[in-house]
């Protein structure tokens, strides 16, 4: 029995160590364009690996140590900084391959540390970033870069900025209230703005849930029209998890681009496709014959409405 307990303790030790090292970070909520963000700051959202420097070592969001080369961190500050380890847009898989290696290689020369926060400093966002900016004045060779923040003068600026970023293969935009003091957790003062794509697929298999979803649906395994398989595990309500759509049902999901292997990035359930949607899509709206039929039908209906109107007017004159 003692041996079993020792084995269990050894198995649990890595998880306990990770939990102890896990940094308390701020997280982003999703932007709603109904919320005014005039007077806030916006910046590009970099699609990299979260890198938190605690003043001594580099950690992932989950608390795992990132084994970076000594030269990479030799001019890092004695205080905490938070950002994304990044190379270029649309390069997440390469970034992940570099950063997660236990034995760092020469590819680290491609990595920059794009900083969006300086935790535990006084003042608003720009004041905190200024602390790092002042430190970097005396550091010639460093991979640390401070992400540029742009003031939002009007609401439409966010949409235009997002279009520009997405057009350049960027991931999205972050908007933040610059007056807010440093906080951790998921914040209403820090929002992510992403432009997603959506498509349809047919449910092939319902996979059981784990943890808090035991006894409920965990995810759906679906097939797209092109034959690609996709596993959708988020975006469902509790009611939908208790009573999932049946196998063979057509659903719509959103995603944020494709990986280099052609897989959907971050698929999220949107809705069940109704019979009305399916009926509409059976018709070829670009077919000239079908288009002419629709036009003719509309003309007939317009004529009937006009005839009824004239009839009503005539009745008034008669009476």
Residue with tokens 């009824």: 308
Kindly report the number of other CB atoms within 10 A of residue 92's CB atom: 19
Query: Positive or negative, the Cα torsion across 123, 126, 132, 133?
Result: negative
Count of C-beta atoms within a 10 Å radius of residue 93: 11
Half-sphere exposure of 134 (CA within 13 A, CB side): 8
| CATH annotation of 197-280 | 2.40.50.140
254 assigned to active site: no
134-162 tens-digit pLDDT: 999 999 889 999 999 999 999 999 999 99
Cα(60)–Cα(22) distance, integer angstroms = 8
Tens-place pLDDT, residues 245-263: 999 999 999 898 888 888 9
The single residue listed with the structure tokens 């092109």 is 226
What does 168-212 look like in DSSP terms, one character per residue? TT--EEEEE-TTSPP--EEEEEEEEEE--EEEEEEEEEEEEP-GG
Helices then strands (H, E): number in the chain? Answer: 8, 15
Taking alpha carbons only, the member of 190, 204, 95, 205 closest to residue 149 is 190
Entry pTM = 0.64
The CATH code belonging to domain 21-193 is 3.30.470.30
- Provide the residue ranges of all domains of the chain, joining segments of one domain with +: 21-193, 197-280
- Active-site residue, selected from the candidate residues 34, 35, 45, 194: 45
First CA to last CA distance, the chain: 102
pLDDT tens for each residue of 71-125: 999 999 999 999 999 999 989 889 999 999 999 999 999 999 999 999 999 999 9
- The residue length of the chain stands at 319
């Amino acid at each position: 029995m003692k041996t079993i307990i020792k084995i269990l303790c050894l198995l649990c030790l890595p998880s306990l160590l990770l939990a102890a090292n896990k940094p308390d970070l701020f997280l982003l909520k999703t932007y709603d364009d109904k919320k005014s963000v005039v007077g806030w700051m916006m910046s590009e959202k970099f699609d990299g690996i979260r890198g938190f420097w605690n003043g001594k070592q580099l950690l992932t969001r989950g608390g795992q140590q990132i084994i970076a080369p000594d030269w990479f961190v030799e001019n890092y500050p004695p205080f905490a900084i938070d950002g994304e380890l990044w190379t270029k847009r649309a390069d997440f898989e390469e970034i992940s391959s570099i950063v997660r290696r236990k034995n760092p290689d020469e590819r680290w020369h491609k990595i920059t540390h794009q900083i969006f926060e300086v935790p535990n400093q006084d003042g608003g966002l720009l004041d905190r970033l200024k602390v790092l900016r002042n430190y970097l004045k005396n550091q010639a060779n460093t991979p640390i870069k401070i992400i540029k923040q742009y003031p939002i003068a009007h609401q439409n600026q966010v949409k235009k900025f997002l279009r520009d970023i997405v057009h350049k293969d960027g991931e999205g935009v972050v908007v933040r209230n610059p007056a807010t003091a440093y906080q951790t957790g998921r914040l209403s003062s820090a929002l992510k703005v992403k432009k997603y794509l959506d498509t349809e697929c047919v449910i092939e298999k319902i996979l059981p849930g784990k943890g808090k979803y035991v006894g409920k649906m965990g995810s759906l395994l679906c097939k797209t029209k092109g034959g690609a398989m996709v596993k959708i595990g988020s975006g469902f309500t509790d009611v939908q998890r208790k009573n999932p759509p049946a196998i063979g049902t057509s659903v719509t999901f959103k995603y944020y681009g494709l990986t280099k292997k052609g897989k959907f990035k971050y698929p999220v359930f949107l809705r069940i496709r109704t019979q009305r949607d399916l009926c509409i899509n059976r018709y070829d709206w670009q077919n000239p014959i079908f288009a002419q039929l629709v036009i003719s039908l509309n003309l007939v209906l317009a004529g009937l409405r006009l005839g009824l109107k004239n009839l009503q007017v005539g009745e008034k004159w008669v009476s």
